[in-house]
Amino acid sequence: MSKRTSKATQVDIVAEASAWFIEFRAGPVASSDRARFDEWLCQSPQHIQAYLEISAGWAELPTNDPQGHIDIAALLERARHSGDGNVVSLPQRPSTHPPRARAAPRLLSAALAAAALLVGVAFWVFSYEANTYRTGVGEQRTVRLLDGSTIELNALSSVRVRLSSTLREIDLKRGQALFHVAKDPARPFIVRSDVTSVRAVGTEFDVYRKATATVVTVVEGRVAVDEVGFTAPTPQPASQPEPMLLDAGEQVTLPTGQLTADAVKRPPRARRTDVAVATAWVEKRLIFEETPLAEVAEEFNRYNTRRLVISDPELRSLGISGVYASTDPDSLLGFLRAQPNIQLTETATRIRISLREKK
């Protein structure tokens, strides 16, 4: 979100308030984004007032969802007819006296303000959705950006794209993506995943946002990886640490959210890795090398509606190796069924993994 000076117009302020409101409505927001939002609020009382007005206006938007999700189609239809349908009808007290002449301009101003608010929110909802790309269970897609870059989205993933004349910024909200970045030194390409920021100019790299960590793997070129917006448990030096530089064939895993004391003492380090394993999902393959069964189940569940559920905690750390097809659930299930110490109990919605009872 760009900073505004004291000369910013009310239209600009409402637009920024709308953008922030939609950002928070879309899902979890990184601590770095929350810090920028707090800074934006503190810049002017007008910012606070605009955000509160957007929040109040949201409650009046069309929805049939009990959770409050907005019907965008109905919203845009109302915006198209803002000349009549968006005029706010104000309750009037019965009176035998004619209304004062100055009441008409006041009602007109209120109506125009309400219509402008509705159209502004509609624009930002539409803009947010137009720049957000998602995949469902087992779905993969390729997104081609106007700058020539491409984003390959893995199953159950979501990204938000923001392109400007000076910056190309991608928010990885969920899941995993492989980025092929077109070279443009004047416009850095930045991918954010929780507190992790990956900066590149022209390269290819994979970012996987897991529940507890973000994994960055460089396929070609070089990227700078940084942690922003985290809250460390101990006082840190005033100077910011230098970003970590990763070359092709290197990978780093950075913890999600607040760093632990141990993580501060032992910061993550880059390591050499097999990029073919990290990006095997593009070819619809799952490659495991003594991978804990808990992580194997997490990967399996990205591609299948019947979810793997581990019943016995001691099985979560069981190492699994092999190459399996993400489009063929039986390639992995057949292997698990053949294990002498594992028992699978299958229903229409889940596959429960438990220790086989000893006879």
Kindly report, residue by residue over 339-355, the tens digit of the pLDDT. Answer: 999 999 999 999 999 99
**Residue 142, both tokens:** 């390729």
Q: How far is CA 354 from CA 7, 47, 65, 345, in A?
A: 65, 55, 38, 8
Instruction: Strands of 221-317 (E only): list them.
Output: 222-227, 244-247, 250-255, 271-272, 285-292, 307-310
Classified by CATH at the fold level, domain 284-355 comes out as Phage tail protein beta-alpha-beta fold (3.55.50)
Kindly report, residue by residue over 56-92, the tens digit of the pLDDT. Answer: 666 555 555 555 555 555 555 554 544 443 333 334 4
Q: Write the class of the CATH domain 141-276.
A: mainly beta
**C-alpha to C-alpha distance for 75 and 56, rounded to whole angstroms:** 15
**C-alpha to C-alpha distance for 184 and 215, rounded to whole angstroms:** 25
**C-alpha to C-alpha distance for 179 and 206, rounded to whole angstroms:** 6
Relative orientation angle of helices 293-303 and 329-337, to the nearest 10 degrees: 150
The domain segmentation of the chain, as residue ranges, is 10-89+99-132, 141-276, 284-355
> Model confidence at 94, in pLDDT bands (50, 70, 90)?
very low
Give the amino acid at 195: V
CB-based contact 227:252 (threshold 8 Å):
no
Of 306, 6, 28, nearest in space to 171 by CA: 28
Helix (H) or strand (E) holding 144: strand 141-144
Work out whether the CA dihedral 114, 115, 118, 121 comes out positive or negative.
Answer: negative
**Residue 138, both tokens:** 């087992």
Tell me whether domains 141-276 and 284-355 share a fold. no
User: Which of 102-116, 222-236, 270-284, 307-321 has the lowest average pLDDT?
Assistant: 102-116
Burial (0-12, 13-18, 19+ Cβ within 10 Å), 282:
middle
Q: What is the pLDDT of residue 232?
A: 39
Give this prediction's pTM. 0.64
User: Which of 71-80, 230-239, 325-334 has the lowest average pLDDT?
Assistant: 230-239
**Residue 155, both tokens:** 């199953």
> Model confidence at 238, in pLDDT bands (50, 70, 90)?
very low
User: Which of 33-42, 202-211, 268-277 has the lowest average pLDDT?
Assistant: 33-42
Reply yes or no on whether the pLDDT at 7 is more than 70.
Answer: no
